[in-house]
Amino acid sequence: MAVFDTSRALTEGARTNPVSLFARVFGAVLVWNDRRMTRKALNALSARELSDIGLNRGDIARL
């Protein structure tokens, strides 16, 4: 299984831009969705597959 880094950071200019509130909300939604998709993919794995990557079912909620 491949791992992709899907974290996104706001640029410095977005903090001073009048649209910064929208950018922060949009960024938060993207992060939430990335985490949701990761949890969904991990929950689809078997216990053996999770063990292969060093996780168990209890670890998924903390990710």
What sign for the dihedral angle of Cα 40, 42, 46, 47? Answer: negative
Q: What residue has token string 């831009």? A: 17
Residues 6 or more apart whose CB falls under 8 angstroms from that of 27 comprise: 8, 10
pTM for the complete prediction? 0.63
pLDDT at 6: 66
Q: Residue 50 in contact with residue 44, Cβ under 8 Å?
A: no
Q: What is the mean pLDDT of the chain?
A: 83
Q: Would you place residue 63 in the very low, low, confident or very high pLDDT band (cuts 50, 70, 90)?
A: confident
Q: H or E element: which one contains 55? A: none
The whole-number pLDDT of residue 18 equals 63
